[in-house]
Amino acid sequence: MKYRVLGKTHLKVSEIGFGGIPIQKLTQEEAAKVIHKAEETGINFIDTARAYSCSEEYIGKALKGRRKNWIIATKSMARSYEDMKRDIEISLKNLNTDYIDLYQLHNVKDIASYKEAFGENGALKALLEAKEKGIIRHIGVTSHSLDMLKHMIENPLVETIMYPYNVVERQAIETFKLAKERNIGIIAMKPMAGGVLSDGKLALKFILKDDFISTAIPGMASIQEVIENVSASKEEITKDEIELCDNIYKEMDKEFCRRCGYCAPCPQGIDIPFSFILRGYYVNYDLKDWAKERYNNLKAHASDCRECGICETRCPYDLQIRKMLKEVKKTFGY
């Protein structure tokens, strides 16, 4: 396994990290076996979140007696001081540790949520207090919005960013380069494009060819996935493989949502990008219950679409959004 420096944190992380979303569908014992195998291969960076149901707890139990071998990252959707303070304590308990290496503000998707989190009595205040006490070591942000990513790398308190990067989603390359110049650690999420890319090894080799990436975090739910993913760290990508990736990009360019949010607002109140994300988790990751619960909690659903087509006029990628929403409706039943 090769290691890279996670920006200004100075942490040396495995260039392939462990994404903690899919272990939700395993038992505690199964999850521990997968995590222990990852450790054997040299993976030392593991990412989870408060929102990933039992993921934090599974990781905490699996790492008992092994904490020193791991760099743990988690994240919270909390935006207020009190909510973040509470979530930090819950994460510490779940992860069975007295400190967390990287705590991230999860899915900061617009200026309103950014201002709330970074405001006078926002979540950042709780993170800074916890950092002073040594309870957390570093602070990061995650987002699906490129506009927000550009905004957040301007903040000197941000030590790491997490954003989608894969064969299909290449829209952040210039922003990543700018972030690297500012010594911000870059964590590539969705390396398999939400599960739509079938060749995991190729997908990771494509990402790892770029030195501005600190680590890529594919979700892993089996020992076989660990072995396949780690193999990407042992080989350089070839010219023919890059050409293959470019062909995949061209084929999928008009069918894949980059979650940029330009389609919003929907007149019916549908959160179009998040609906597509949840369908991906349901279909590609087999996280059916987790995805359905979150879909049920949405204020509006794919069945509410009146096919006005306004979203398609705004989409910079010319996606057939109405057709894609019908697939969401078919998946969830409404």
Q: What is the pLDDT of residues 36-60, one digit of tens each?
A: 999 999 999 999 999 999 999 999 9
| Vertex 322: Cα angle to 318 and 324 (nearest 5) | 85
* Residues 204/219, Cβ–Cβ less than 8 Å: no
The Cα 25–Cα 289 span in angstroms is 9
Q: What is the pTM of this model?
A: 0.88
pLDDT at 285: 80
pLDDT at 127: 98
In sequence order, what are the beta bridge partners of 234? Answer: none
In CATH, 3-245 is 3.20.20.100:
yes
Q: What is the mean pLDDT of the chain?
A: 95
The Cα 164–Cα 166 span in angstroms is 7
DSSP state of 233: G
Here the tokens at position 147 are: 């506009």
Q: What is the pLDDT of residues 254-296, one digit of tens each?
A: 788 988 888 999 999 999 999 998 998 898 888 899 999 999 9
DSSP secondary structure, 255-284, as one string: T------TTPPPTT---HHHHHHHHHHHHH
* Residues 165/171, Cβ–Cβ less than 8 Å: no
% of the chain at pLDDT higher than 90: 90
pLDDT at 195: 81
pLDDT at 259: 83
Among the residue ranges 35-44, 53-62, 214-223, 312-321, the one predicted with the least confidence is: 312-321
Is the pLDDT at 143 greater than 80? The verdict is yes
The Cα 196–Cα 257 span in angstroms is 11
Is the pLDDT at 129 greater than 90? The verdict is yes
Here the tokens at position 180 are: 């690297």
pLDDT at 194: 81
Is the pLDDT at 253 greater than 80? The verdict is no
Q: Report domain extents, the chain.
A: 3-245, 272-332
Q: What is the pLDDT of residues 162-195, one digit of tens each?
A: 999 999 999 999 999 999 999 999 999 999 988 8
Tell me the pLDDT band of 327, cut-offs 50, 70 and 90: very high
